[in-house]
Amino acid sequence: MSLASLLTAEQIIPEMKATERWPAIVELIDLLVGLDKIKTADRDSILASLKQREETMSTGIGFGIAIPHCSSDRLEEVVAAFGRSTGGIEFDALDNAPVKFVVLFIVPKNQFQTHLRTLASIAKFLNDRAVRESLAAAKSSEEILSIFLDRSQKL
Protein backbone atom coordinates (compact mmCIF):
# COMPACT_ATOMS: atom_id res chain seq x y z
CA MET A 1 0.00 0.00 0.00
CA SER A 2 1.69 3.21 -1.19
CA LEU A 3 1.62 6.62 0.40
CA ALA A 4 0.06 7.96 -2.78
CA SER A 5 -2.97 5.73 -2.25
CA LEU A 6 -3.31 6.72 1.42
CA LEU A 7 -2.91 10.49 1.22
CA THR A 8 -4.73 13.53 -0.09
CA ALA A 9 -3.22 17.03 -0.10
CA GLU A 10 -5.33 17.77 3.02
CA GLN A 11 -3.56 14.95 4.88
CA ILE A 12 -0.16 16.59 4.38
CA ILE A 13 1.34 19.29 6.61
CA PRO A 14 4.06 21.02 4.54
CA GLU A 15 5.55 22.71 7.64
CA MET A 16 4.84 21.18 11.02
CA LYS A 17 4.68 23.37 14.12
CA ALA A 18 5.90 20.67 16.50
CA THR A 19 9.58 20.40 17.40
CA GLU A 20 9.39 17.24 19.54
CA ARG A 21 8.18 13.69 18.97
CA TRP A 22 4.94 13.56 20.94
CA PRO A 23 3.58 17.00 19.88
CA ALA A 24 4.36 16.03 16.27
CA ILE A 25 2.30 12.84 16.59
CA VAL A 26 -0.56 14.79 18.22
CA GLU A 27 -0.40 17.40 15.42
CA LEU A 28 -0.87 14.71 12.76
CA ILE A 29 -3.61 12.89 14.70
CA ASP A 30 -5.49 16.17 15.21
CA LEU A 31 -5.26 16.80 11.46
CA LEU A 32 -6.87 13.39 10.81
CA VAL A 33 -9.58 14.07 13.42
CA GLY A 34 -10.26 17.45 11.80
CA LEU A 35 -10.68 15.71 8.42
CA ASP A 36 -13.05 13.10 9.93
CA LYS A 37 -10.59 10.31 9.10
CA ILE A 38 -10.57 9.50 12.82
CA LYS A 39 -13.63 9.98 15.02
CA THR A 40 -13.17 12.50 17.85
CA ALA A 41 -14.30 9.82 20.32
CA ASP A 42 -11.46 7.52 19.13
CA ARG A 43 -8.67 10.14 19.28
CA ASP A 44 -7.41 9.35 22.79
CA SER A 45 -7.54 5.59 22.29
CA ILE A 46 -5.50 5.83 19.09
CA LEU A 47 -3.02 8.26 20.69
CA ALA A 48 -2.59 5.79 23.57
CA SER A 49 -1.80 2.99 21.07
CA LEU A 50 0.72 5.22 19.28
CA LYS A 51 2.34 6.20 22.57
CA GLN A 52 2.60 2.56 23.64
CA ARG A 53 4.29 1.73 20.31
CA GLU A 54 6.72 4.67 20.62
CA GLU A 55 7.65 3.67 24.18
CA THR A 56 8.65 0.22 22.94
CA MET A 57 11.10 1.76 20.48
CA SER A 58 11.23 5.07 18.65
CA THR A 59 9.85 4.96 15.12
CA GLY A 60 12.52 7.48 14.11
CA ILE A 61 14.34 5.16 11.72
CA GLY A 62 17.18 7.46 10.67
CA PHE A 63 17.89 9.63 7.60
CA GLY A 64 15.47 12.23 9.00
CA ILE A 65 12.50 9.84 8.81
CA ALA A 66 9.96 8.79 11.44
CA ILE A 67 7.09 6.40 10.85
CA PRO A 68 4.84 6.40 13.94
CA HIS A 69 2.24 3.68 13.51
CA CYS A 70 -0.12 1.39 15.37
CA SER A 71 -3.15 -0.79 14.87
CA SER A 72 -6.60 0.05 16.21
CA ASP A 73 -9.94 -1.70 16.50
CA ARG A 74 -11.59 1.72 15.99
CA LEU A 75 -10.86 1.92 12.24
CA GLU A 76 -12.21 0.12 9.18
CA GLU A 77 -9.41 1.14 6.78
CA VAL A 78 -5.81 2.34 6.86
CA VAL A 79 -5.50 6.04 7.71
CA ALA A 80 -2.34 8.12 7.19
CA ALA A 81 -0.91 11.62 7.42
CA PHE A 82 2.40 13.12 6.37
CA GLY A 83 4.25 16.01 7.97
CA ARG A 84 7.42 17.82 6.99
CA SER A 85 9.63 19.92 9.24
CA THR A 86 12.39 21.98 7.67
CA GLY A 87 13.76 22.77 11.14
CA GLY A 88 13.67 19.16 12.28
CA ILE A 89 11.85 17.40 15.11
CA GLU A 90 13.60 15.84 18.11
CA PHE A 91 12.29 12.26 17.76
CA ASP A 92 14.81 10.13 19.65
CA ALA A 93 15.63 8.58 16.27
CA LEU A 94 17.98 5.61 15.92
CA ASP A 95 20.70 7.85 14.46
CA ASN A 96 19.94 10.69 16.93
CA ALA A 97 19.40 13.09 14.02
CA PRO A 98 16.36 15.40 13.88
CA VAL A 99 13.42 14.12 11.86
CA LYS A 100 12.32 16.06 8.77
CA PHE A 101 9.62 13.70 7.50
CA VAL A 102 6.92 12.07 9.63
CA VAL A 103 4.61 9.47 8.14
CA LEU A 104 1.92 8.48 10.61
CA PHE A 105 -0.41 5.60 9.84
CA ILE A 106 -2.97 3.51 11.68
CA VAL A 107 -4.13 0.11 10.46
CA PRO A 108 -7.29 -1.75 11.52
CA LYS A 109 -6.43 -4.32 14.24
CA ASN A 110 -7.21 -7.41 12.18
CA GLN A 111 -4.97 -6.45 9.21
CA PHE A 112 -1.49 -7.48 10.32
CA GLN A 113 -0.21 -8.19 6.78
CA THR A 114 -1.45 -4.80 5.57
CA HIS A 115 0.38 -3.22 8.51
CA LEU A 116 3.68 -4.87 7.59
CA ARG A 117 3.33 -4.19 3.85
CA THR A 118 2.46 -0.52 4.45
CA LEU A 119 5.39 -0.04 6.81
CA ALA A 120 7.81 -1.71 4.37
CA SER A 121 6.50 0.28 1.42
CA ILE A 122 6.88 3.63 3.24
CA ALA A 123 10.36 2.80 4.53
CA LYS A 124 11.54 1.70 1.06
CA PHE A 125 10.07 4.81 -0.58
CA LEU A 126 11.69 7.25 1.87
CA ASN A 127 14.99 5.35 1.84
CA ASP A 128 15.63 6.90 -1.59
CA ARG A 129 17.76 10.04 -1.17
CA ALA A 130 16.32 11.59 -4.36
CA VAL A 131 12.80 11.25 -2.93
CA ARG A 132 13.85 12.90 0.34
CA GLU A 133 15.54 15.74 -1.55
CA SER A 134 12.43 16.27 -3.71
CA LEU A 135 10.20 16.28 -0.64
CA ALA A 136 12.48 18.77 1.11
CA ALA A 137 12.33 21.13 -1.88
CA ALA A 138 8.55 20.89 -2.42
CA LYS A 139 6.69 24.17 -1.88
CA SER A 140 3.21 22.91 -0.96
CA SER A 141 1.20 19.90 0.16
CA GLU A 142 0.00 19.49 -3.45
CA GLU A 143 3.60 19.35 -4.65
CA ILE A 144 4.47 16.81 -1.94
CA LEU A 145 1.49 14.68 -2.97
CA SER A 146 2.53 14.86 -6.63
CA ILE A 147 5.97 13.46 -5.66
CA PHE A 148 4.23 10.51 -3.97
CA LEU A 149 1.97 9.97 -6.99
CA ASP A 150 4.82 10.27 -9.49
CA ARG A 151 7.04 7.82 -7.59
CA SER A 152 4.26 5.29 -7.02
CA GLN A 153 3.72 5.06 -10.80
CA LYS A 154 7.41 4.25 -11.33
CA LEU A 155 7.49 1.39 -8.84
Question: Which active-site residues does the annotation give?
Answer: 69
Region of 129 (left: φ > 0; alpha: ψ -120 to 50; beta: rest) is: alpha
Return the C-alpha torsion angle 65, 71, 144, 117, nearest 10. 80
Query: Which of these, 61, 50, 58, 59, lies nearest to 106 by C-alpha position?
Result: 50
Residue 18: CA count within 13 A, CB half-sphere:
23
